[in-house]
Structure formats: C-alpha cells, structure tokens
C-alpha cells in the first residue's frame, strides 16, 4: 500500500514537474515580450545605446523645442502694387495677400521679412552681446563684416581639419529678368566656400568654383544657371566632390554638374554635366550614407517627381540604378538626412522664388518607397508654417553630439534683389514634441515626428560638441 501511494505520489510529482516547466518557460517568454512591448512603445525601436541617448538629448534640446508664437497683422493692400509684384503671383493662391506683401519690394512690411543692415548679425557686428545667436532672416556677416553669399548651399564637416565648410551660390550681382516672362536671375559668379569651427563664425574662403566669363559653350558661362551645390568627401579617392544643378537661363538644359578638388577650399575642377539616367534634373542634392555609398536625388519629369540613385564608387557619375519617388507630388529643394536607420527628407513645393509649404518624408530604404509625413514647421504662426517661415529647404545638418537633433537650413529668397536673400536656420528634431498631428498610413510604420521649430533668436545648446 505504501508503495502504491508512493508510486501515485511520484507519478503525480512527475506530472506536476512536467506541466510546470512549460508554464514557467511560457511565463518567462510572456514577461520578456511584455517588457519588450512597453520598451518599444515608450522609447521606439532604437539601436543599441539609443534609448538613453534620445532621452538625454531631449533634455539637451528642450529649449530649442519650445513653441514660440509669432503674430503680425497685415492690413489689406494699400495703394497700387509694383507691376513686378503683380506679375509674380505665386501659386497656390492661399495666403496670397501676405505672399504678395513678401514679394513686393515696396511693401511697408518689408522690414519684417528682410530686416535691414542695422540688424545684421555676425562676429564683426556683435554689439548686443549676441555672439553665437542665430537670427533667422537677418543679414549674416562673415569675419570680414560682409554678408555671407552661400545660397542654396550645404555643409561638409571635415574631421581632419575639425572644420565645417559651407558651400553655396554666390549671388552678389545685380538681379534682372532676361526677358519679360523670365524669372529673376543673377549672372553666375561661382560657388563660395566659408569655413567655421562653431557654425556661427564664418570665414570667407573665396570662390572655389568660378564662373566662365567668355566661353559661351561652357556650362559655367555667366549667362547660365548654377544652383544648389553640395560637396561630399570620397574616402577611396581622397577627393572632394561637388554636385550642382546646371542649367541654361530658361531652365531647359536641366542637368547636374560635377566638379572635383584635392582640398575642401578648392579650387574645384569642373568636369562635365549630364542628365542623370537620361532624365531632366533640376533641384537636386547628394547624400553620403554611413556605408560610404552616395546618392543623388533630383526633381525630374518637369518637377512632377523625384528620382534617386546611387553614385559610382568615385562619386563622379550615377550608376544605372534609379527609382522614381513621390511620383506626381511636384516637390523640389530636397534636403535629406538619416536618423536611427530611417531616411528623412524635407522638400518644398514648386513656386519659383516664392515660398510655399514644406513637407517631411520618410523611408526605410533611401531607394524608397518614400512616405509623406506632413508639414514639419512648428510654432511661429499659420502663415509662417504654410510658407516654411518664408523660406525654402536646402540642407539638414546633424548637430554634433546630440543624436536626433539637426539644423534645418533654408533660403529666404529675395527675388527683387537675389543677392540680399537671407538664411533661415532653425533647430530640427526627430521624435520631439509637436503642435500638429502626424499624418500616417497603416501600410507603413509609424514614422517619428519631424519638427522644425521657429525661433526669432536661438543658440546651439552647450552640449553640442565641437572638436576644435
Ligand atoms: C526654385 C528652386 O528651388 C531654386 O533653386 C531656383 O531654381 C528657383 N526655383 C528659380 O525660380
């Protein structure tokens, strides 16, 4: 009997232990899954080490992410507008009167958009102890006290020299219209380069790619168009490579141009132009990925879509691979950046020199598909947000030492006097606070919010780590 009970008891004990083990295992698996689920909800799907970084960096950029309101009241148009302002009616026609005011060189509100020279900022004009403060829209002076001429530009950081190089269009000439229906232009002068250690104090390094004054068949001939230069470094060939938009005065050549240099400050040797992949190419940018593969992104098919494709290993040409993205969206002025493995891009609409609404896009692969996630402009006021703060995207620069934080670089074009176009640099964060809901589609992951914060005056946080 004792044996029988012992047998039963041991049978029972075996059964219990056989049942308990899977239960314990499944409980553990369940706990791990629950913890993972909550972690990914609260912190996102970061790479190793990203969770504390994003939380800390949010604290570091808290001031930049404050919503700063702007208000201005513009009365109905007064007397007659200048004939040029009437002709330049921008599309779409929302907020027409205010954009008309913006485009009217005789507007009584001109100073709101283009503050005069007395308000200029820069190292030589540092009367109000305003050192290192960015004032979007004000004249920005270099270390010689001259207005910076680097429009439609981009920035390259060169680790070897611990220096930032800002390349852009030098538009320091008279603005005119080649014919009655042509848009405002300045003859080609060349590409300027400025250097800085702190992103605020800029030294003029001169014209690194110069105009061709006499040879009318040359791409850089003064009566052509040379826009949106961007420079990247090729680690294999150890050369600095510049890509730019090359066009004729009527924007029918629609090509990219490529130039090469031994040093970041030039001189760049102009190589050639081409229509990439055999397509028309107007506003463009290039992007060097962490892998070292670089890409060109350009508006094509009459600006109705963007094309993206990898460059050859030497960055001097495109390969045969190309994808059409944002087809039918009519976007230009692409500015691309990457955060935590996701690609982001800010683009503008197509309205010549007149400002319009920016959109942010995101993609898991740079080759697409790209999803539009909405207007990133935050703060200011409705009109500011619908006009990208009266500016147009050109580049997005990662802030050193603060992952997820960037500088959004844009041009506030002044079509009445293009040399007096201004720079609008503002903090851009991925995943920060936002004052407008995010648009998304269930076919795609929920993208992080991209926000560009309006500030009249702002400064880089102390945590930005400059290697000087
Ligand atoms: C908009 C583009 O983004 C600028 O680079 C310039 O090409 C103007 N159009 C010319 O109207």
Residue 431's domain is classified under what CATH number?
Answer: 2.115.10.20
What's the pLDDT at 40?
Answer: 42
In a domain, 79, yes or no: no
The predicted pLDDT at position 28 comes to: 77
351 CA from centroid of ligand 1 (Å): 8
Query: How many angstroms separate the alpha carbon of residue 150 from the centre of ligand 1?
Result: 14
162: left (phi over 0), alpha (psi -120 to 50) or beta: left
CA angle, residues 254, 258, 260, in degrees to nearest 5? 165
**Per-residue pLDDT tens for 321-335?**
999 999 999 999 999
Give domain status of residue 133, yes or no: yes
Q: What is the mean pLDDT of residues 382-393?
A: 96
| Site to substitute for ligand 1 among 152, 246, 330, 351, most atoms within 8 A of C-beta | 152
- 18 lies in a domain? no
**Cis peptide bond prior to 218, omega within 30° of 0:** no
Closest CA to 242 of 169, 163, 177: 169
In a domain, 55, yes or no: no
Q: pLDDT category, 302, cuts 50, 70, 90?
A: very high
Return the best residue to mutate from 178, 183, 353 for the ligand 1 pocket (most ligand atoms within 8 A of CB): 353
> What's the gap in Å between 149 CA and the centre of ligand 1?
16
The pLDDT of residue 32 is 63
Element (H, E) at 56: helix 50-60
- Residue 450 dihedral angles phi and psi, to the nearest 5°: -110, 125
- Domain assignment present for residue 54? The answer is no
First to last CA, the chain: 88
User: Total domain count for the chain?
Assistant: 1
Each residue of 104-127: pLDDT tens digit?
999 888 999 999 999 999 998 766
User: pLDDT higher for 90 or 185?
Assistant: 185
Contact indicator for 66, 360 with CB cutoff of 8 Å: no
Q: CA–CA distance from 15 to each of 27, 139, 187, 398 (Å)?
A: 18, 82, 89, 60
Residue 224's domain comprises 95-459
Q: How confident is the model at residue 80 (pLDDT cuts 50, 70, 90)?
A: low
Give the CA angle between residues 80, 81, 83 to the nearest 5°.
115
> What pLDDT band is residue 57 in, cutting at 50, 70 and 90?
low
pLDDT beyond 80 at 394: yes
Residue 242 within a domain: yes
Q: What residues line ligand 1, using a CB cutoff of 6 Å?
A: 152, 183, 227-228, 283, 332-333, 352-353, 392
Q: Is residue 395 part of a domain?
A: yes
Q: Which atom of ligand 1 is nearest to the CA of 225?
A: 7
In this predicted structure, the answer to whether residue 360 has a pLDDT above a threshold of 80 is yes
pLDDT of residue 23: 75
With pLDDT > 70 as the criterion, what percentage of the chain qualifies? 79
Distance 219 CA to ligand 1 centre (A): 18
Residue 1, domain member (yes or no): no
The reported pLDDT for the residue numbered 358 is: 98
Q: Confidence band (pLDDT; 50, 70, 90) for 228?
A: very high
Q: Is it the case that residue 235 has pLDDT exceeding 60?
A: yes
The rounded distance, in Å, linking the Cα atoms of 125 and 110 is 22
């Amino acid at each position: 009997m004792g044996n029988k009970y012992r047998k039963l008891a041991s049978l029972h004990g075996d059964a219990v232990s056989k049942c308990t083990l899977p239960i314990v295992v499944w409980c553990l698996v369940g706990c791990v899954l629950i913890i993972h689920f909550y972690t990914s909800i609260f912190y996102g799907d970061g790479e190793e080490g990203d969770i504390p970084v994003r939380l800390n960096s949010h604290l570091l950029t808290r001031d930049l992410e404050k919503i700063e309101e702007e208000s201005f009241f513009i009365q109905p148009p007064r007397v007659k507008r200048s004939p040029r302002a009437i002709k330049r009616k921008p599309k779409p026609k929302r907020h027409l009167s205010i954009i008309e005011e913006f485009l009217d060189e005789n507007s009584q509100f001109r100073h709101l958009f283009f503050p005069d020279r007395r308000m200029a900022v820069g190292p030589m004009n540092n009367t109000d102890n305003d050192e290192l403060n960015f004032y979007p829209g004000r004249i920005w002076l270099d270390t010689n006290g001259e207005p910076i001429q680097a429009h439609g530009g981009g920035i390259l950081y060169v680790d070897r020299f611990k220096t930032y190089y800002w390349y852009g269009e030098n538009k320091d000439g008279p603005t005119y219209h080649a014919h009655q229906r042509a848009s405002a232009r300045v003859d080609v002068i060349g590409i300027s380069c400025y250097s800085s250690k702190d992103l605020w104090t800029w030294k003029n390094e001169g014209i690194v790619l110069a105009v061709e004054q006499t040879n009318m068949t040359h791409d850089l001939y003064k009566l052509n168009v040379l826009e949106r230069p961007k420079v990247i470094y090729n680690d294999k060939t150890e050369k600095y490579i510049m890509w730019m938009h090359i066009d004729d005065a009527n924007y029918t050549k629609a090509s990219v141009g490529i130039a090469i240099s031994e040093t970041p400050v030039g001189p760049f040797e102009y190589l050639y132009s081409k229509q990439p992949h055999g397509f028309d190419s107007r506003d463009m940018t290039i992007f060097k990925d962490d892998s070292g593969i670089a890409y060109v992104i350009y508006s094509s098919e009459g600006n109705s879509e963007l094309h993206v494709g990898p460059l050859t290993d030497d960055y001097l040409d495109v390969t045969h691979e190309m994808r059409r993205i944002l087809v039918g969206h009519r976007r230009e002025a692409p500015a691309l950046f990457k955060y935590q493995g996701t690609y982001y891009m800010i683009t503008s609409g197509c309205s010549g020199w007149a400002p319009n609404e920016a959109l942010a896009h995101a993609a898991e692969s740079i080759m697409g598909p790209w999803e539009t996630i909405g207007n990133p402009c935050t703060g200011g006021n409705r009109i500011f947000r619908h006009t990208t703060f009266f500016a147009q995207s050109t580049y997005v620069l990662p802030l050193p030492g603060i992952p997820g934080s960037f500088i959004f670089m844009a041009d506030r074009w002044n079509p009445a006097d293009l040399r007096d176009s201004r720079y609008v640099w503002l903090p851009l964060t991925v995943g920060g606070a936002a004052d407008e809901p995010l648009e998304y589609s269930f076919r795609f992951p929920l993208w992080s919010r991209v926000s560009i914060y309006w500030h009249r005056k702002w400064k880089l946080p102390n945590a930005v780590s400059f290697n000087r």
